[in-house]
Structure 1
Amino acid sequence: MVSPTSEEDTRKVQTAVIGQAESDWPVFLPYDHDDFDTFMRGRTRHDFYCGVLLGGCGKKLTPKRYTGKKCHYAHRPPVHCRRTETGEASADHLYIGQALRRWLLRQGYQDADITYLDPGSVHGGAVEVRFGQGRSRLIRVQLARLSLREWQETRERLADRHTHVHWAYGPYCGLSHNEVDAAGHAIRISCRTQGDTREVYVGAQYPDNSLGWSTLTECRLSNEGVVTPSLDAEPPASSTPVPAPTSVAFPLAPGTIAFTAATELPASHTDPDGTAVRLYEADLQPLGSAAVRARITLPHAHPAPSPHQLHIIYSSAHLLPLTEATPSGPDWLIRADGASPLPQQTDSRWPDLRPASPRPESPPATPATTEPATSAPRPLPLGEAETIRVFRSRLGIVARARGLINWETLISHAGAAPGDVTPDERVRLLIEVDHPRADGKPVLSALVKPAHAPAAPAPYFTNVLAGLGWRSGLSEAKVTEIWERERKTAYVLAESTPARQQPSVRPPEPKAGTAHVLNEARLAARLREHLELVAKGHGIIKWTSLLRKQGISPSTLTDQDRVRLLAAVDSSYVPGRRLLSALVKADGQPPGPAPFFGDVLRELGWKPDAVTPTVEAVWRAAVYRAHARGTQAVPVARSASAERPTEEERVHWGKLGTTKRAVVVAVRRALIDAAQRQVCVGWHTLAAAAGLKPSDLSAKARESILVTVDSPATYGVLLSSLVVASEHTPVPYFDAILKRLGRPYGLRPIELGRLRKTEQARVFTAYRAAAHSAEAPKERA
């Protein structure tokens, strides 16, 4: 194998991204020419980009094969790229982010959100991964160097805004020793080249500087953070004697144990490490085993598991024998970090668990030795998953109309009668509509009110809030306050988002083990927008053409990717609903449905019936319905800007398939998110938030968008001050923005820089205070 050599020409790089320039899907080009041939199988020379998240120019790269020197990517002339990190480690921040996403998915967390801070900087900046209920937990991987003061300030800021913050350190940041001093050990993270990829390794560093490495897949997650195999084992010997363990605890694999009928025991308890926990007794069943009565501990702040739901232990857990067990009582205790309710009442993996349906006037609970009740509510006509999708869609329509809806009307949209659903099932369904909770996401259940009653919280709204994580027993005044706030938030969010961008269900999560690291939600939205235009023109489009319209090479996506993306475009199958995926065909196919349309239908949940017994029947009806709706105007948001767009601007936005107002709304939301995270952003982030590429927006268009964002300025501060050019410098038109906003302008560069820093500090202060005040009502018990 040819050993890598240093090359001065920064046009020659070792890493790229695929899919599109804004992708966070990294690829490493092997050095050796034999490995090059293996790497290129199934790929073309047009699939690679100098990614903006690599600090690159976003232009295409060409893989070059050599026998006398290392293989590498090369820019296509003319070259104007300022990318500084070009070696094999230059995409490590992306490899780490995607590895953590896949790892958290296996730990049971499907809502991980990844942020790359200062990508393209030396050693990759930092990676932040938010996950858990309300994305309240955070893994921060610090790759670039920080001063001790910056590190301490960042720790304090993140700790104020998250329930758990877990730090990991790259090989060059120089802070792991400080973490060892603060916490007793530090989690180190590193990447190693293995074939045509970079494998992520994790190690635990101890006070004696010993460090044992393992792959990320061998680690587990606890409330204390990433736990490596060496941390699970006995720590290395030190001058401080380690007490011998006092009990036996067997680790349990996440996702293998479910329980129901949980009853909290009155006494307070603490774990051996001193952590306060709550103790429950429940019916429990491991996979492939019989159900038993056992005890479970959960963190004190964890929401109490409903005894009338099926719960699964997705977190790390340990099995301990109960030393105080009685002959008639449970023999085992499970110490768990968390559990999540399942949306369904039964699960074939745990056939012996049957949650009892509560009844208002039921007799006192039977002893634990009797069989749990097996009565279940009447099946919903559309099934539970589709009913929840219908609820979300209908409540989105109600929010856009700034209205309310009673339960009887809402359930009728799902083809059911009020009597088909028990009061407790109603609460559970509404909880699922709003699950999982997240900052800035309104509780749509606040739009459901009692029939023949004035606008007010429904009597069961308190139970819905408890199921979403609010503490139980809230006062009536507090419930009304939350109801008012969530209702208004739903209205504002619905008005600021074009209707066609509000899917009735979240897009599918990426599956573990596959390289689906493109933002699938954004890509599905862009495909949906383009198919709306195809429908308007009464046309059909080839899959390859549809992808190329988005700047994506078809060779980068598999057949399974195609089915999943088209299913995300249509969200679900309901008879009579438009299916835009019917307008997509394969290259060179005869007239009729595409060969993959049947797979898309099955992914959507379609089953043959009397009206549409075959795939072709569904396709014909879907094409007719799409074209019939296509004759109407595409439902894009109307411009509400104070400035009437010129004919030239209208043509420009029309070519991009959007409107200026829609872009302004997306940019404003992205800047607010940056303000809440206390970071600055570039136009690659803002353009991606609007579903565009940075090259779609001229400097004049960017200036106009930012002026509209700050007209008027929210909290009296300028969000536009957070927008930076390369190397964290002000955008060249910041002075023009100040002039158009009536602020002092015409400043010298040094004065302009000071003003921008001052405005940034004011933005961070305003949104930190706003975030704290918004979080106050959500404090958990």
Structure 2
Amino acid sequence: MPYAEEDTRKVQTAVIGRAESDWPVFLPYDHDEFDRFMLGRTREDFYCGTLLGGCGRKLSAKRYTDKKCHFAHRPPVHCRRSETGEASADHLYVGQALQRWLRRQEHQNVEVTYLDPGSVHGGAVEVRFGYGLAQVIRVQMARLSLREWQEARERLARGHSQVHWAYGPYCGLSHNEVEAAGHAIRISCRTEGETREVYVGTQYPDNSLAWSALAECRLTAEGIITPRLDSEPSTSCAPALVAFPLAPGTIAFTSAAELPLPGAKPLGTAVRLYEADVQPLGSAMVRVRVTLPVDHPVPSPHQLHVIYSSAHLIPLADAAPSDPTWLIRADGALPLPQQADPRWPDLRPTPLPPEPPAERHSLPLGEDEMVRLFRSKLDQVARVRGLINWETLVGHAGAAPGDITPEERVRLLVAVDHPRADGKPVLSALVKPALTPPGPAPYFADVLARLGWRADLPEARVSEIWEQERRTAYALTLPLDESAATRQQQSPSHLPEGGVTSTINEARLVAGFRNHLEGLARGHGIIKWTTLLKRQGVRPSTLSEQDRVRLLAAVDGSYAPGRRLLSALVKKDGQNPGPAPFFGDVLAELGWKPDAATPTVEAAWRAAVDRAYSRDTSAVPTETEDRRWAKLGTTKSAVVEAARRTLVDAARRRVCVGWHTLAAAAGVKSADLPDKLREAVLVAVDSPTSPHGVLLSSLVVASEHTPVPYFDTVLKRLGRPHGLRPIELGQVRKREQARAFAEYGSGTTTGS
């Protein structure tokens, strides 16, 4: 039957599970295919996904016989999604397909990032994988200028050992790849029944294209190899070689020296040849030759490098008596940040050459002590997800800003973050000048340059690095352990005047402030700063004025018009009605600037107090949590205890569990536990009274072994870093799982 005129409201793609999901679905046009598509699904399963550029609201699947079936928004509709057609979720189909494809080839740690997903044609997809996520496949879906393409290639090449590019049908860049490499890999999606299948093409200089299914392709150090590339005649006539596969992560090397590349095979042409000290796990060190791809960063002889990728051991039958007799052909290696590793005890990197003596100025505490103190303070700031003014940081060292020259400032911050290493945050990103909004300090680019970045980075790139390093610092810095807080409660008299010391758990202190001020807001109250501290068991004399501003700013995070600011409810002892004398400094720390609505600090304070007192009564529960548990025939404490025992057992077995397992252990049905009750149980399991401080809640997974959607909320309620991007949340979850496995897997710890 011919379809009627196009329905301009139609949305052909959606995501399932939740609004932030990257699991796409395509609704077939035909009503018969619609019926097959809906088998096992309900009309409540579909969302206008945020990764589709959508509003995140639920969609209804509409069946028609006289026009195309499609998804439709439920009124009222306020969606600005620009791409709604058949190909609008292709970037998600590509990301999902590449994940499955790489895992079938036994690649580890596969993670997908969608860049600018709401843009026309889906932006770009980056799939990182392998040891240290050092390999990446970049699929460019949207159009990109030649300059942006070249900058992206340089950026990815600097941060990864292998970069493989593929191009969607609309980016207009594949011919540039053909000119550079002789061919380009193309990616396209085709509708097949209820889904969009991913196909891979090989484009040649004459613009001819040969397509094949992704499953028919394979990945090598040279990139994605299609059947067409496999069928092309080999340029080598060399006989087959004996090559023994090596397990990734079992071999390390150091003291690598590059050698001229001989013409004989099996070295290949797109590689560099090195001679290095090599040691396998559990074996002795030996001098071996190693090849790495030509675009792989040259391994420094001053570091240890681990061969994390696929590698093969090849005998060198024609080697001279004095030369090594073995060759390792590797796809990549990753440097370690430390100079020694107990797994490879015989490897000793070449010592770094001595640096020329730098001109030294007289610093208040001496340079080494100031660097140590700065690093400690910045670690504390990262724990509470804050920023610190340079002037405040210098004050902790007993110095004035004028005591340190601009050159010394850069040198000190570089020393804080030296040496640079993959996965290690740049803590100096947390330093900013006083009375400026959050953002990179004017000298941050100089710090980056001395740590190894380019000296001519554009301002936008510096801001991008600043944001990335700030988030990494928040995500990868653990809160202080319970023992530190216990020591502080037992011996408060040892705290010095003038600042927070490492014995105060700042993350918990900020969380305590926030919880107390939330209750105060419900009662429309105001509290003295000294009273607020005493409620947390902290002596006011242990905190400086700078600490007060920083901690209150950490309670609110950042400033945005219309946002509640709980710090407005704190006043100074004996002050007149109105904003506290330090509230203006808190606003400045949060990034507030006068505007038409709040031209003065007092106006901003009045607006903040009104917003803090306002509450949405519709959010008040109609029944207590205890009654809800009673209806299930149990109590919250019983469910928490059963969940904790089950999770401890899972940690010992080094596995993750779902809520069906936890509910069964507690004697209730999983379907009777809404997310709010599940969240409350996990918060109680991992409450600050937990004896070991590991997050057992990280072991709880949803369907498809995905994280539970409220894990970030659990982190927030526990006073841990939260509000993270998916990739950062995944890093926190994996780290906490490893801590739980290590804590309970030894068999020496007993769960409560």
Q: TM-score, normalised by structure 1?
A: 0.44
Larger Rg: 2
Q: TM-score, normalised by structure 2?
A: 0.45
